[in-house]
Structure 1
Amino acid sequence: MVNFNGTLLETDAHFLNNSNRGLRYGDSLFEAIRVVNGRIYFLEEHYLRLMSSMRILRMEIPMEFTMEFLASEILKTLSANAQNKPYRVRFTVFRNDGGLYLPKTNRVSYCVEVQELEHPFYTISDAPYEVELFKDFYVNKDMLSNLKSNNRLLNVVGSVFAKENDFQNCLLINGDKMIVEALNGNLFLVTGKTIKTPPLNDGCLNGVLRKKIIEISTKSTVYEVREESISPFELQKADEMFITNTISGIIPVYKYRKKIYKNTTSKDLVGKLNAVARLTV
């Protein structure tokens, strides 16, 4: 089932048309949210990011768009499914139909979709995971790149490139040739006990799990966390590399070119992440 503006519809229902601004112009935002046994992980962080992003895009935020409303619409959609399972929930907001580049209205509609996940907890895979740089196009160093918008052409083309060349993922770079993020999440490098991740002003997504990993690592007495630009030359000097997103959690990178990485820090952090996730839902 899909939830469109509060009404549950069959997943194959035709509730969007060719005038949809998300389709025409990518005039849309979304949150990918992990829900386990009816409990919404990091709800407050997702809600605050969505509200901030809507303000940046000058969308009109409906009065009913509270955090409680977001939770209730997610749970309403899950009510048509077995709630005692893990799910990926996509909450999409798009400006209503009308206009060309200039919209006729700033009012919005929303839809909620769910997809069952395999594991109820964040897990670490030991399967080989190889990445490469994607250098055909660059990430812009601006605030729009920080948003979880539907403008993901760079990620789509990069994903095709990765599949064509038998990579599990690619790393995106900005106009300064600095590493920004992976195709599907934020990037972290580990050298010794120092964890580095690109700063937001380099153009990376303002990821919910990025924020959580920074918080967890900062509170730890073991690690030093730095938000600093990462050059491609640093990739082969690091001990570990991992990718984060709210659905998969922590994805250790096994190989970049001739460099083989460990996953010791990833395994340590995923335990801490699961503990925090259970406490904050």
Structure 2
Amino acid sequence: MSLNFFKAFFMFNFNGGLLEDNSSFLNEKNRGVQLGDAVYEELRVINGEIIYLEDHYLRLMSSMRILRMEIPMNFTMEFMETEILKIFSENDLKQAKRVKFTVFRNSQHNFFESDNSISYFIVSDTLNNHFFVLSEDNYEVELFKDFYKNSSMLSNLDTNNKILNVVGAIYARENDYQDCLLLNERKQVIEALNGNIFIIKENKIKTPPVTDGCTNGVLRKKLIELLSKLDGFDFLEDSISPFELQKADELFIVNTIDGIVPITKYRKKAFVNTVAKNLIGKLNAAARLSVSPRV
């Protein structure tokens, strides 16, 4: 039988080995589970090409250094690409995929017992669209004020500590919102549960700086590059007050998997999606340019 036949049953990669879905590979002392001592990247894979691979790789390496994880010598960008593509069959490579690459620290769950070495696992699922598609669905948001996100460097990372997002999502579901906006300890709007936020008023486009505590997402970076070259608009990274939301003409959320998600309503204010429509094509074009054909 061919290798591809067997790969159809493999659902994820653990330290370079392919395992079937629901395989047991973590124990009760795992630090990612016990302490949230893990960091991850979510990526899009289209036709076997990893979108913004270099940016995701550099962000993962930066996150691991900030968390003082030991980075193996073989952990290159080419290694990351190979390990991701290893989990896909030839048929999978024709589909759009979401990939989550998680790195966790080894050793005991005790705070002081760790050698800083790491393990990793890679999982994926199928996306409906190969490139970003702007949704026309209702997307109502509200402020989540039960808990705040601190404006620190750790808040810029995607770690396994997502309890704030989990509780915020439950609040949103209980109150029939599609998402919630998070605040930092200074009560500034920093992001949504589902990604970075951008606010538009007349010819000004603004997003919070990472120093306010927002996630330093790859697509946030790419959109900022596009906005800095957009004619007719002034772009700036600056703090956002909750009072600015209802005065805005347009609000949208950005993340690696969905692209741009227009917010349609916040409290009594309804928003247009004019700029988001203009940007989605540019974002797709930039994503296509970020990859080169595999050989």
Provide TM-score, normalisation by structure 1: 0.98
Deviations 1:180-209 (A, max 9, x none): 100010000011121100010100000101
Q: What's 1:207 paired with?
A: 217
**2: CA distance, partners of 1:65 / 1:72:** 11
Q: Secondary structure at the match of 1:219?
A: coil
1:79 offset after TM fit, Å? Answer: 2.9
SS for the counterpart of 1:173 is strand
How do 1:1-281 and structure 2 match up within 5 A? 1-79=11-89, 82-281=92-291
| Corresponding residue SS for 2:181 | strand
1:32-91 per-position Cα deviation (integer Å, ceiling 9, x unaligned) = 001111110010110000000100000000001100000111100123762100000000
SS at match of 1:3: strand
Distance in 2 between the 1:93 and 1:225 partners? Answer: 34
Which amino acid in 2 is paired with 1:84?
A: K
Unaligned 5+ runs, structure 1: none
Q: Could you list the per-position Cα deviations for residues 73-110 of structure 1 after superposition, in whole angstroms to 9, with x for gaps in the alignment?
A: 11001237621000000000000131511232100000
Q: Which residue of the partner structure matches residue 5 of structure 2?
A: none
Paired letter, 1:9: L
Shift of 1:121: 1.1
Shift of 1:222: 2.8
Runs of 4+ in 1 over 3 A off after TM superposition: none
Q: Residues of 1 paired with 2:203 and 2:252: CA distance?
A: 14
Q: Using the alignment, how far apart are the partners of 1:141 and 1:80 within structure 2?
A: 44
**Contact 1:94/1:109, CA 8 A, preserved across alignment:** yes
Q: Deviations over 1:200-252 (max 9, x none)?
A: 01000001010011000102223211100000000001100000000000000
Contact 1:142–1:201 (CA under 8 A) maintained in structure 2: yes
Computed over aligned residues only, the root mean square deviation of the Cα atoms, in angstroms, reads 0.9
Distance 1:144 1:132 in 2: 24
In the alignment, the residues of structure 2 paired with residue 76 and residue 124 of structure 1 have an alpha-carbon distance, to the nearest angstrom, of 30
Question: Matches of 2:84 and 2:91 in 1, distance apart?
Answer: 11
Amino acid at match of 1:168: Q
* Percent of aligned positions that are identical: 58
